Structure 1
Amino acid sequence: MEHSTGALLFVALLLVNLTRWLVKRSQTGFLQQHKARLAREIASLRRQAETFNTPSTYAKCAKLQRLANAKEQELAALQQHGDRDVRARIAAAIATLKVILIALAVVKLWGRALLYIPPQLSWPFSRLLVFPHTSSYMELGAVTVVPWVTLCDRVSLLIARALFPLRGLEPRTKPLQTVHEEKEQ
Structure 2
Amino acid sequence: MEETLRNPSSLAAPLIFFFVFALQLFSTFVERLKKRGSRNTVQTQLRQEIKKILKEASSFSTPSTFAQAAKLKRMATSKEKELAKIQELENKENKGSYDRVLTALGIVKVLAYLGLSWWFWGVPVATVSQQLLQPFEKFFFITLLQGKCCHGELEDLFPALFWLG
- What TM-score, normalized to structure 1? 0.47
User: How big is the shift at 1:2?
Assistant: 3.1
AA at the equivalent of 1:97: V
1:24-52: CA deviations, max 9, x gaps?
A: 344444638x98xx89x979988997997
Is the Cα contact below 8 Å between 1:20 and 1:91 reproduced in 2?
A: yes
Provide the rounded CA distance (Å) in 2 between the counterparts of 1:89 and 1:27. 11
In structure 2, the residue matched to 1:169 is none
Provide the rounded CA distance (Å) in 2 between the counterparts of 1:77 and 1:123. 64
Q: Any unmatched runs of 5+ in structure 1?
A: 142-185
Q: Which has the higher contact order (CA 8 A, sep 6+)?
A: 1
Provide the rounded CA distance (Å) in 2 between the counterparts of 1:46 and 1:23. 35
Provide the rounded CA distance (Å) in 2 between the counterparts of 1:60 and 1:106. 68
Q: Which has the larger radius of gyration?
A: 2
* Counterparts in 2 of 1:80 and 1:116: CA distance versus 1, 3 Å: same
Counting aligned pairs with the same residue, the percent is 19
Q: Which has the higher helix share?
A: 2
Is the Cα contact below 8 Å between 1:48 and 1:64 reproduced in 2?
A: no
Query: Is 1:64 aligned to 2:73, yes or no?
Result: yes
In structure 1, the residue matched to 2:10 is 3
Q: CA RMSD in A?
A: 4.7
Is the Cα contact below 8 Å between 2:53 and 2:76 reproduced in 1?
A: yes
Q: Which runs of 4+ in 1 moved over 4 A?
A: 41-55, 119-126
Provide the rounded CA distance (Å) in 2 between the counterparts of 1:82 and 1:124. 56
* Counterparts in 2 of 1:123 and 1:19: CA distance versus 1, 3 Å: farther
